[in-house]
């Protein structure tokens, strides 16, 4: 198990490096820089500004400085746009917001989706089963950018219960809609996967044996069925998390929650290289980290993977 974790962790490093270098090169290749404005700056001034940010050095040196700054001091450099702020301070503001509703969305998606799917499978062909299937079919076409405006229509414009946007220090009224909008489609997918794998497990031979030797249904499910049935769900958690991270961009932009996504889109439109890079790298490392965790949990549940 330990060697598996080490191996898996090492394989994440080149991916992260590639992400950094690729986005770095992409941004340097792009036409127009952060200092190209409508009034062209005098060349000396431009040269001075570029020297200040280190843009006059060869690419390789720039990349090396950038990467070593992140690795040794966790320093993403100054923002090109917001002159008085570093990328770190901007991102840590946004990150605290994204983390809160991202965490709750994940909890809702897994905490509602998984039991719903498992119970639906146990009570196969009951009204609960049909409800779960109905939800998961319907939610396929309700991604976050569709859910968000629909929720605003319902809860803000019609019912007037919840504020239509903003964050306000993370009061619960401001968290509810982002969480529902972000988690719905993943909740549905998780319940669909959990239901079908639980159904498959319940029809397998070892469950029949357990029934034949007279075990009560509750202990058959808890002791024998749950663990193998959860494997496909666990392998979906990685992609689900990635989707939620990506979806947080929509949530931030639509609900003006002030999370990472908003800064990412702002930075992209303003060509704020360092902020954009910083956001991409944070998002990317979260993705990579979580994929890794999902793989490790999977290996822990499934010895075939661990020992291969």
Partner 1 sequence: MLVSKEKMAGVVDAVSNNKEIEGRSLWQDAIGRFQRNKAAVVSVFVLAFMVIWSFIGPALSPWSYEEIDWNVIGNAAAAGFPSLETGHFFGTDDLGRDIYARTLQGTQISLLVGLVGTAVAVIIGVLFGATAGYVGGRVDNYMMRFVDFLMSIPYMFILIILFVMFGRSLWLLFAGLGAFAWMDMARIVRGQTLSIKNKEYIEASVAAGVGGFTIIMRHVLPNLLGIVAVYTTLLIPGLIMTESFISFLGLGVQEPLTSWGALISDGAKTIQYGTPWQLLFPLGFFIVGLFCFYFIGDGLRDALDPKDR
Touching partner 1, residues 48-107 (CB under 8 A): none
Beta carbon of residue 144, minimum distance to partner 1 (angstroms, whole number): 8
**Interaction between residue 297 and partner 1 (CB under 8 A):** no
Out of 102, 113, 117, 284, point to the residue binding partner 1 (CB under 8 A).
Answer: 284
The whole-angstrom separation of Cα 95 and Cα 279 is 10
What are 194's two structure tokens?
A: 């959990």
Do 184 and 139 contact (CB within 8 A), yes or no?
Answer: yes
Pairwise CA distance, residues 40 & 141, whole Å = 47
Residue 228 binds partner 1, judged by CB under 8 A: no
Q: What is the nearest approach in angstroms of partner 1 to the Cβ of residue 213?
A: 30
Binding partner 1 by CB under 8 A: which of 9, 51, 153, 222? Answer: 153
User: Closest CB to partner 1 among 11 and 171?
Assistant: 11
Interface with partner 1, residue 265, by CB under 8 A: yes
Burial class (CB in 10 A: 0-12, 13-18, 19+), 134: exposed
Q: Which of 5, 8, 23, 293 binds partner 1 (CB under 8 A)?
A: 23
| 251 C-beta neighbours (distance < 10 Å), count | 28
Q: Which stretch binds partner 1 (CB under 8 A): 54-62, 115-123, 139-147, 220-228?
A: 139-147
- Residue 177 structure tokens: 């809609």
* Under rule CB under 8 A, residue 15 binds partner 1: yes
Burial letters 172-186, b for 16+ CB under 10 A, else e: eebbbbbbbbbbbbb
The DSSP string of 77-96 is -B-SSSTT-BHHHHHHHHHH
The footprint of partner 1 (CB under 8 A) covers 12, 14-15, 18-19, 22-23, 26-27, 29-31, 137, 140-143, 145-146, 148-150, 152-153, 156-157, 164, 242, 245-246, 249-250, 253-254, 264-265, 268-269, 271, 276, 279-280, 283-284, 287-288, 291
């Amino acid at each position: 198990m330990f060697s598996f974790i080490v191996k898996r962790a090492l394989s994440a490093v080149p991916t992260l490096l590639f992400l950094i270098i690729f986005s770095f090169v992409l941004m340097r290749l792009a036409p127009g820089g952060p200092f190209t404005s409508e009034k062209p700056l005098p060349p000396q001034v431009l040269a001075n500004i570029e020297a200040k940010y280190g843009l006059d050095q060869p690419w390789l040196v720039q990349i090396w400085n950038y990467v070593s700054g992140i690795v040794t001091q966790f320093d993403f450099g100054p923002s090109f746009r917001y002159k008085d702020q570093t990328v770190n301070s901007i991102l840590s503001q946004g990150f605290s917001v994204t983390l809160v509703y991202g965490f709750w969305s994940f909890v809702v998606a897994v905490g509602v989706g998984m039991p719903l799917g498992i119970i639906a499978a146990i009570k196969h062909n009951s009204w609960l089963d049909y409800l779960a299937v109905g939800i998961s079919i319907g939610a396929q076409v309700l991604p976050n950018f569709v859910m968000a405006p629909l929720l605003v229509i319902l809860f803000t414009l019609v019912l007037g219960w919840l504020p239509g946007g903003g964050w306000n220090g993370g009061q619960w009224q401001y968290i509810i809609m982002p969480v529902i909008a972000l988690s719905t489609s993943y909740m549905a997918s998780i319940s669909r996967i959990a239901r079908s794998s639980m159904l498959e497990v319940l029809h397998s031979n070892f469950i029949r044996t357990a029934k034949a030797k007279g075990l009560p249904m509750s202990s058959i499910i808890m002791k024998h069925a749950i663990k193998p049935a959860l494997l496909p769900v666990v392998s979906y958690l990685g992609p689900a998390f990635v989707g939620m991270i990506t979806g947080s961009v929509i949530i931030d932009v639509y609900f003006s929650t002030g999370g990472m996504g908003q800064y990412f889109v702002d930075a992209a439109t303003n060509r704020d290289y360092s902020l954009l890079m910083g956001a991409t790298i944070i998002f990317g490392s979260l993705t990579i980290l979580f994929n890794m965790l999902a793989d490790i949990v999977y290996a822990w549940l499934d010895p075939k993977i661990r020992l291969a």
